[in-house]
Amino acid sequence: MGSVAQSPQLSPVERADVVVVGAGPGGAAAAANLADRGHDVVLIEKDRFPRDKVCGDGLTPRVVKELLDLGLTDEAHGRVDGWATQKGLRIHGGPTVMELPWPQLDDWPGWGATATRKVFDETIARHAAARGARLVEGVSVTGPLWRDGSESRVSGVSWRDGDGNEGRVLAPVVVAADGAGGPLAKHLGSARRPNRPMAVAARTYYRSPRANDDWISSFLDLTDGQGELLSGYGWVFPLDDGTINVGLGLLSTSREFGKVSYKKLLESWADGIADDFATTEANRTERIRSGPIPMGFNRTPLHQRGVLLVGDSGGMVNPFNGEGISYAMEAAALAADVIDGAMTTRRTSDLDRYDQLLRQRWGGYYTLGKVFSELVGNPTVMHICTQYGMPYRPLMHLVFKLMAHLTDRDPSDAKDVMINTLQRLAPAA
């Protein structure tokens, strides 16, 4: 990927149909989908590729579907360097270890994948550029621009690059995919919802003989090297480069949230699994990094005044499992559909459908996830659940489908019917 031509530069004043801020999976997917529909799109990324992001690097079947929809078939099947595929999830809970294959469904692929965010994000961004989006790297968006001096309607964004150059991109629609700490939602006054769960994730990489594993591993209760119970949940995801991504997440509902050293917590847990995964300090290849995980639509509204929030900027992370890539990419595809329709009708009010449709699609599920996060924030509760629930495989199949958000829309399977009914009945707050 390093051989790709250098990113184009912005003129002091640029015009476009849409400007997308942030070239992570959500922003890049939005740009690719909009460019496919013939729109002139400027995609602005503050860093230069390849660049990292704190993440587990795991790609669920929901992500695989988005890759296939974008035409990235070889990547989705692990036929490209840097990409690997897995059969399913190996769950560790209490004394039980259980392997659960990804569900075989009509609506979703039957496999998952892994790729580092350095590889994954650049792949999607370069793909958007190949589709016709104007990808610009190393440029920071400093805020929204407003039509006619009022703040009733966006007219683009202002920017600054590393050399101190400044300018504007004028566009009637802005997609804000600039992450949990991005400036656009704050400039708009989009409120962070205190009743929505947050988490902090910490992760690092180790050389390991388990890097060729066909399964990703999830740990529902964590213990350190002395067998003491720790708060949070953990993962080990095998990668194509001979390393494993090892990390843990701590929910805001936990009593230790914000009061512990995530680095020390991860080191303690990694020491406890070193016999199985070779997670010793000698094998660690990178420093431990941590970052926030905003969950369950923690910023709203998702559209206002011509700005659509995508991905972490709107808190589109699954509260059950901390996965956000698929939701960012699915929201990006929906945003492209809604924007394309609004440009056809020339009714800017049509953009409000984006917020409405997303809440209909995921609102009930995220509400269920909020309840779940409140329960499992207590490590003792989580330990009891895993001790007594894990041995029953039919129950774990149901829990797996629920936590991974993998059901058919028109199901014949009773588990899918139950999960879909729960989502439909839960209030989409």
pLDDT tens digit sequence for 83-95: 999 999 999 887 8
Buried b or exposed e, range 372-392, using 16+ CB within 10 angstroms: bbeebbebeebbebbeeebee
Query: Residue 103: is its pLDDT beyond 80?
Result: yes
> What gap in Å lies between CA 258 and CA 418, rounded to an integer?
36
| Least confident range of 285-299, 375-389, 390-404 | 375-389
Domain 13-82+114-194+296-365 has CATH 3.60.20.10: no
**Residue 214 and residue 365 in contact, taking contact as beta carbons nearer than 8 Å:** no
For residue 92, give the amino acid letter. H
Q: What is the pLDDT of residue 5?
A: 44
Of all residues in the chain, the percent with pLDDT exceeding 90 is: 75
> What gap in Å lies between CA 17 and CA 156, rounded to an integer?
10
Q: What is the pLDDT of residue 8?
A: 67
Query: Residue 43: is its pLDDT beyond 90?
Result: yes
Query: Residue 19: is its pLDDT beyond 90?
Result: yes
Q: What is the pLDDT of residue 1?
A: 46
With cut-offs at 50, 70 and 90, classify the pLDDT of residue 231.
low
Q: What is the pLDDT of residue 2?
A: 42
Predicted structure pTM score = 0.94
Query: Residue 164: is its pLDDT beyond 70?
Result: yes
Q: What is the pLDDT of residue 251?
A: 85
Mean pLDDT for the stretch of residues 216-226: 80
Distances (CA, A) of 133 to 22, 93, 281, 304: 13, 45, 43, 24
> What gap in Å lies between CA 101 and CA 98, rounded to an integer?
10
SS3 assignment, position 336: helix
Q: What are the pLDDT digits (tens) for 396-409?
A: 899 999 999 999 99
Q: Using the 8-state DSSP alphabet, how is residue 37 labeled?
A: T
Query: Residue 318: is its pLDDT beyond 90?
Result: yes
**Which span out of 36-40, 199-203, 377-381 was modeled with the highest average pLDDT?**
36-40
Mean model confidence pLDDT for the chain: 92
| Least confident range of 68-82, 99-113, 203-217, 259-273 | 259-273
Query: Residue 192: is its pLDDT beyond 90?
Result: no
Q: Are strands 233-238 and 229-230 parallel, antiparallel or unpaired?
A: unpaired
Query: Residue 13: is its pLDDT beyond 80?
Result: yes
With cut-offs at 50, 70 and 90, classify the pLDDT of residue 170.
very high
Mean pLDDT for the stretch of residues 318-347: 96
Q: What angle do CA 371, 320, 285 make, to 5 degrees?
A: 140
Query: Residue 327: is its pLDDT beyond 60?
Result: yes
Q: What is the pLDDT of residue 310?
A: 98
Buried b or exposed e, range 49-63, using 16+ CB within 10 angstroms: bbbebbbbbbbbbbb
> What gap in Å lies between CA 68 and CA 234, rounded to an integer?
28
Of all residues in the chain, the percent with pLDDT exceeding 70 is: 94
For residue 340, how far is the Cα from the chain centroid? 24
Q: DSSP letter string over 106-163?
A: SSS-S-EEE--HHHHHHHHHHHHHHHT-EEEESEEEEEEEEGGGSSSSEEEEEEEETT
**Residue 414 and residue 117 in contact, taking contact as beta carbons nearer than 8 Å:** no
Altogether, the residues listed in the chain come to a count of 429
Domain ranges of the chain: 13-82+114-194+296-365
With cut-offs at 50, 70 and 90, classify the pLDDT of residue 3.
very low
Query: Residue 7: is its pLDDT beyond 60?
Result: no
Nearest to 71, CA basis, from 29, 37, 106: 29
Mean pLDDT for the stretch of residues 115-139: 98
Q: What is the pLDDT of residue 250?
A: 87
Q: Compute φ and ψ for 26, nearest 5 degrees.
A: -70, -50
